[in-house]
Structure 1
Amino acid sequence: MVDLDGDLTCKTWTVAEAAEAAGVTPDVIYQWKRRGKIKPVNERGWPRYRALDILKAEAATRERAHRAA
């Protein structure tokens, strides 16, 4: 279970955590990265993404698809 409490501008998530929080598969997170919707905050190692960026990308995707939360 991903923790959505606290300051989401500073919190970072792994691909798996980001996917769980957004309700998508890890492949979608990689697609968002390739399309430039999100970018990792670290330069080396396993990618980590800013929680707020993930939630914004998910909301924008949902809005474009005309889906409700």
Structure 2
Amino acid sequence: MTAATLLTGALAATEAGVTPATIRKWVQLGRLSPAGKQGRAQLFRLEDVFAAERAARGGRPGAAG
């Protein structure tokens, strides 16, 4: 079994093409949960971030960026 790579909110946001503020908003809304912490920083699984991003875009057909 391999451990999932955990990324900070800023790195996860870059990978998903959103802003770090969007990651924080998804956490506040319960659409994304941190998988761990490193000091004060929340860490996220990239697959969870991509799932939240797909769900956010899926509700608005034709929405860009």
TM-score grouping bracket, smaller chain normalisation = 0.7 to 0.9
Q: Which protein is richer in strand relative to its size?
A: 2
Look up the SS of the partner of 1:38 in the other structure.
coil
Unaligned runs of 5+ in 2: none
Structure 2 counterpart of 1:64: 59
Structure 1 moving runs of 4+ over 2 Å: none
The root-mean-square deviation of aligned C-alpha atoms, in Å, is 2.3
Structure 1 counterpart of 2:23: 29
Look up the SS of the partner of 1:36 in the other structure.
coil
Structure 1 counterpart of 2:42: 47
Please give the alpha-carbon distance, in whole angstroms, between the structure 2 residues aligned to 1:54 and 1:36: 12
- TM-superposed CA distance for 1:44, in Å, is 5.5
Identity %: 34
Alignment: residue pair count: 62
Unaligned runs of 5+ in 1: 1-6
Q: TM-score, normalised by structure 2?
A: 0.80
